[in-house]
Amino acid sequence: MMDASLKELTKLEKVTAPDSKGSSITVTLDSLLQTLRETKERFIRGDCTEQQLVDLVRTIETKKKEIEERQKEVYTILARLGKALDKKFPTSLPSYSDLFSSPASVEALERTIALHLLRTGQFEVAETFLKESSVIIQDDLRSQFVNLHHILKALRNQDITPALQWAQDNREFLKSRSSSLEFYLHRSQYMRLLLRSHPPDTRPAIEYANVNFRPFYEEHKTEFGRLMACIMYLPLSKLQNSSFKDLASPTLHFDLEPLFAKEYCARLGMSRQLPLRVVGDIGGGGALARIEKGRKVMGDRKMEWDQMTELPIEIPLPPENRYHSIFACLVSKEQSTESNPPMMMICGHVISKDSLQKLNKAGGYAIQMPILSSRDTNWCGSPYLSVIFHFFGSSPLRKPVVQLTFFKHFSKKFCTCIPYYCTHGPVYN
């Protein structure tokens, strides 16, 4: 169904393109406007004849007919395109309240758009947007983004000098983040020097390593060994078939661009990812459709979404968009909170505090713990597992020793009965 929409859209692009078959509406109007200007100039000079005015009328009628025919063709395609889209998307778009009605929200939205344009290097569009909007971006911040794209362009052209200078100027900041950007820049240059000549001449690369690699030796000992050992596998054709082939891969150099952009934006106090792109990717990736479906279902059941503190449905996200680690109890299927934190038992399995308290209503040392499905854990499928804590003896250095005993059927490869030194007495975490 989507092919029909794309087909009509392609036709519309061909009809409206300036180089399409026949004159486009824009070309026809420009031609007519030029003819009128020339006739006006002749009329002002007084050398316009009656025949020229008659020809002008004929020209206007001809151009008018061309425009009408082309508009009719465009409207026909637009009608077919609309019908194709209606078939593809039968559900009408949801209506929401105006989320950007207050001045503060409008300013935040405009600032987000402006920063997105600057971060992506669309400086001309950003300047136009800033002139037409009310948001103000400081000149210093603008120059920072211009400098960022200047350095990225240099990296793209295999010139690490600007990036290396920035890394050296911000060395303390990179150290505080445990970033290896400066070392990776030197590594890239080292490999370029090593592979640039045929037959191989290793002296420039070794001299470069001797001068620049020494400050990074303690943190990258393993990588140092690989960089020196790969010399034995030159030339390039032999290196690409060795265990050091990753050092000859172009990705070793291409990966510098996103890494540098990440550290540069972190220095400016900005996130690694573009906020506007994240919103578009998540929303357009299916989140909005799921949320709208959830709203509709809850509306049919006369439930209020606004009264909830979290989404009542799960929104799948790609790994790069998971910013917080969230624990969901495999017993109650609820997410942990500050009042209901995860609790690790001696066997190593984790459930929520509420679930643990419900399982141990008697308050003793024996609880009945449900065995979860193989989808949730690797345990066997027996219905219950009895866990009994036996306190016996004591240690002069530790609290009473706790031993775990498993009853009923279980697989030994998943859980074992082991003594455990409890440093806090009879607790479960």
Residue with tokens 């979290």: 310
The C-alpha atoms of residue 66 and residue 59 are separated, in whole angstroms, by: 11
The C-alpha atoms of residue 366 and residue 330 are separated, in whole angstroms, by: 20
- pTM across the whole model: 0.60
pLDDT tier at 170, thresholds 50, 70, 90: very high
pLDDT tier at 371, thresholds 50, 70, 90: low
pLDDT tier at 306, thresholds 50, 70, 90: low
pLDDT in tens, 313-355: 778 888 888 777 778 887 887 888 888 888 887 777 788 888 8
The alpha helices in 196-313, defined as continuous H runs, are 203-212, 221-229, 236-239, 251-254, 256-267, 275-282, 288-300
The alpha helices in 120-195, defined as continuous H runs, are 123-132, 139-156, 161-169, 171-176, 181-195
* pLDDT score at 211: 93
pLDDT in tens, 42-87: 888 888 888 888 888 888 898 888 888 888 888 898 888 888 888 8
Closest CA to 193 of 242, 151, 160: 160
Burial (Cβ within 10 Å: 0-12, 13-18, ≥19) of residue 112:
middle
Eight-class DSSP state of 273: S
Average pLDDT of the residues of the chain:
78
- Is residue 202 within 8 A of residue 190, CB to CB? The reply is no
Each domain of the chain, given as residue ranges in start order, spans: 2-88, 139-268, 325-362
> 382 or 192: which carries more pLDDT confidence?
192
> 18 or 76: which carries more pLDDT confidence?
76
Radius of gyration, CA atoms only, the chain: 35
